A and B are shown apart, each in its own frame.
Chain A
Amino acid sequence: MSAIADSTTMLRRNFTHSVRYAAMTLSGLLLPVLMMLMFVYIFGGAIGPAISAGTGGGVSYIDYLTPGILVMAVGAGSASTAVSVAVDMKEGIIARFRTMAISRGSVITGQVVGSTIRTLVSLALVIGVALLVGFRPAAGPVAWLGAIGLLALLILAFTWLAVAFGLVVRSAEGANMASMPMQFLPLVSSAFMAPDLMSSGIGWFAAYQPFTPIIDTLRGLLLGTPIGNSGYLAVGWCLGLTLLGFLWARSAFNRDPRR
């Protein structure tokens, strides 16, 4: 029971940080929205027709794009988590927490829960803006629940990985660099463009990398496009990454701090 109280305290600390360093919090929230506006209004006129033709004319570019931007928002959220964990490690506050009568797991749990809530707010903002600029999902309540569940699973996976990066790297710059793949791999997936419209080698990579089945599943749930076996792959990748991140973060946190 003490573990829950300690985790709540750490969560409160996490939120206080978010409010105190509002610039970083805001940039994390606004970056995916700006990305979406840029792709819809600047590149949409050029990319849209190719996407529309590729999907048999049934999907507008804003509809095609939104699931990819949601996944990118999760990646952007994880980067700030990695940085804040790394800063805590560097400043020695984690070492101080170790000497206190605090549940060991609560320090990390507070970070994970705080990051998850922040990212969910970011996703709500992205969906809100997407609806304003013409996103029209065809999802029913069950499909929406499925999409939210998949996003929550992805957030959990990315957050645990980000915490692990922050614990291992121990510098803000290094943590930011380490979390780059989570932010930029979605660019080379089916987020902005169908892989079969890309040049051969890149198209092959985009078709088989982890983010593509996640984005395609999300797109299928929200727009009613076929999912195929992407659903199993998406859940598999999310669970695999969550487990990897959790075990890695736990071992990094429990390691002798003098090393």
Chain B
Amino acid sequence: MSHAITDSATMLRRNLRRALRYPGLTVSMLAMPVLLMLLFVYVLGGALGGGIGGDIRYVDYLTPGIALMTITTSTMTAAIGVCSDLTEGIIARFRTMPISPNAVLTGRVVDSMIQTLLSVALVIAAATLMGFRPTATFPEWLAATGLVVLLTFGVTWLAIAMGLLSKNPEGASNIVMPLAYLPFLGSAFVPPDSMSGGLRWFAEHQPFTPIIETLRGLLLGTGIGTSGYWAVGWCLAMTVGGYLWARSTFRKRALEA
């Protein structure tokens, strides 16, 4: 057990070092949600704000959605990274060493989680500068943080599984796109009831909408209803499904490498 933890820590150190050595992708993944936030608050916010109803300001409505989108887009680096490792042959080299087989994936997941959670913190800081004023109490902040961590864990495993399916890093980037941009088709930017028929139905029933609504409820005190159960359920399903899928795909691909 301690052997596996040590190996995972070594792999984590390797991934963090790579992120520092090749900062381009990391910086662009950090910058994109902040730029989206600026665009939606200052350029489109005037019109979109009128469509959300109630006494909630658009920057407050938007921040939970952008925080979630930060998580989904950040997973692209994990997918690209794990695919690059496979195609460059480093995995084949690791297999000849006395390393815990799961350490490569675990190191990648923990690295991705650290980077993603830092991105989310940056987005919330930027949102605060733009006027985001959450009404959450300390327990609600804890619950919101827990949900963000759980979602990051689930989505990262899912993205890694998708990255392992791809034959090259470009393909890995493309295969994760639907996952990364699915929040657009949810309640992240506008309420689903402002959308047209079929799209509205999809937006109301897709996995990220209850997660966004729960996060919004925890941070702003809006009604959560049954969204909380759905949010935790979807996060756990993504984690278990992603983990099992990633592990089985990794075994197959590692044997081919």
Which chain A residues have a beta carbon within 8 Å of chain B's beta carbons? 23, 38, 41-43, 45-47, 49-51, 173, 187-188, 192-193, 197-199, 202, 206
B26 an interface residue at 8 Å Cβ cutoff?
no
The contact sample of 28 A-B pairs, CB cut-off 8 A, is A23-B174, A38-B184, A41-B196, A41-B199, A42-B195, A42-B199, A43-B44, A43-B48, A43-B190, A45-B194, A45-B196, A46-B48, A46-B52, A46-B190, A46-B194, A47-B47, A47-B48, A50-B46, A50-B47, A50-B50, A51-B47, A188-B39, A192-B44, A193-B46, A197-B47, A199-B42, A199-B45, A199-B46
What is the distance, in angstroms, from A192's C-beta to the closest C-beta of chain B?
7
Query: Considering residues A173, A193, A206, which has the most beta carbons from chain B within 10 angstroms of its beta carbon?
Result: A193
Q: Judge whether A42 and B184 touch: CB under 8 Å.
A: yes
Docked pose: A49 CA to B45 CA in angstroms: 14
Q: Judge whether B46 and A45 touch: CB under 8 Å.
A: no
Q: Closest 3 A-B residue pairs measured CB to CB?
A: A46-B51, A50-B47, A45-B194
What is the distance, in angstroms, from A17's C-beta to the closest C-beta of chain B?
15
Q: How many residues of B contact A (CB 8 A)?
A: 22
Q: Judge whether B170 and A23 touch: CB under 8 Å.
A: yes
Q: Judge whether B47 and A46 touch: CB under 8 Å.
A: yes
Query: With A41-B195, A42-B185, A46-B47 as given contacts, are A198 and B190 in contact (CB-CB < 8 Å)?
Result: no
What is the distance, in angstroms, from B21's C-beta to the closest C-beta of chain A?
14
Which chain B residues have a beta carbon within 8 Å of chain A's beta carbons? 24, 39, 42-48, 50-52, 170, 174, 184-185, 189-190, 194-196, 199
Query: With A42-B190, A46-B190 as given contacts, are A198 and B195 in contact (CB-CB < 8 Å)?
Result: no
Majority secondary structure of chain A interface residues (helix, strand, loop or mixed):
helix
What is the distance, in angstroms, from B85's C-beta to the closest C-beta of chain A?
20
What is the distance, in angstroms, from B150's C-beta to the closest C-beta of chain A?
26
Majority secondary structure of chain B interface residues (helix, strand, loop or mixed):
helix
* CB-based nearest B residue for A184: B35
Question: What chain B residues lie within 8 Å of A38 (beta carbons)?
Answer: 184
Docked pose: A36 CA to B190 CA in angstroms: 16
Docked pose: A46 CA to B185 CA in angstroms: 14
Contact among A46, A49, A173, A187 for B43, CB-based, below 8 A: A187
Query: With A42-B190, A45-B194, A45-B196 as given contacts, are A202 and B42 in contact (CB-CB < 8 Å)?
Result: yes
Docked pose: A173 CA to B48 CA in angstroms: 33
Docked pose: A42 CA to B183 CA in angstroms: 11
* CB-based nearest A residue for B24: A173
Q: Judge whether A202 and B47 touch: CB under 8 Å.
A: no
What is the distance, in angstroms, from B229's C-beta to the closest C-beta of chain A?
26
Q: Judge whether A42 and B44 touch: CB under 8 Å.
A: no
Docked pose: A239 CA to B170 CA in angstroms: 36
Question: What chain A residues lie within 8 Å of B39 (beta carbons)?
Answer: 187-188
Question: What chain B residues lie within 8 Å of A197 (beta carbons)?
Answer: 46-47
Question: What chain A residues lie within 8 Å of B184 (beta carbons)?
Answer: 38, 42
Question: What chain A residues lie within 8 Å of B48 (beta carbons)?
Answer: 43, 46-47
Question: What chain A residues lie within 8 Å of B174 (beta carbons)?
Answer: 23
Query: With A23-B174, A173-B24, A187-B39 as given contacts, are A45 and B51 in contact (CB-CB < 8 Å)?
Result: yes
Q: Judge whether A42 and B50 touch: CB under 8 Å.
A: no
Query: Considering residues A23, A43, A198, A206, which has the most beta carbons from chain B within 10 angstroms of its beta carbon?
Result: A43
Q: Judge whether B190 and A45 touch: CB under 8 Å.
A: yes
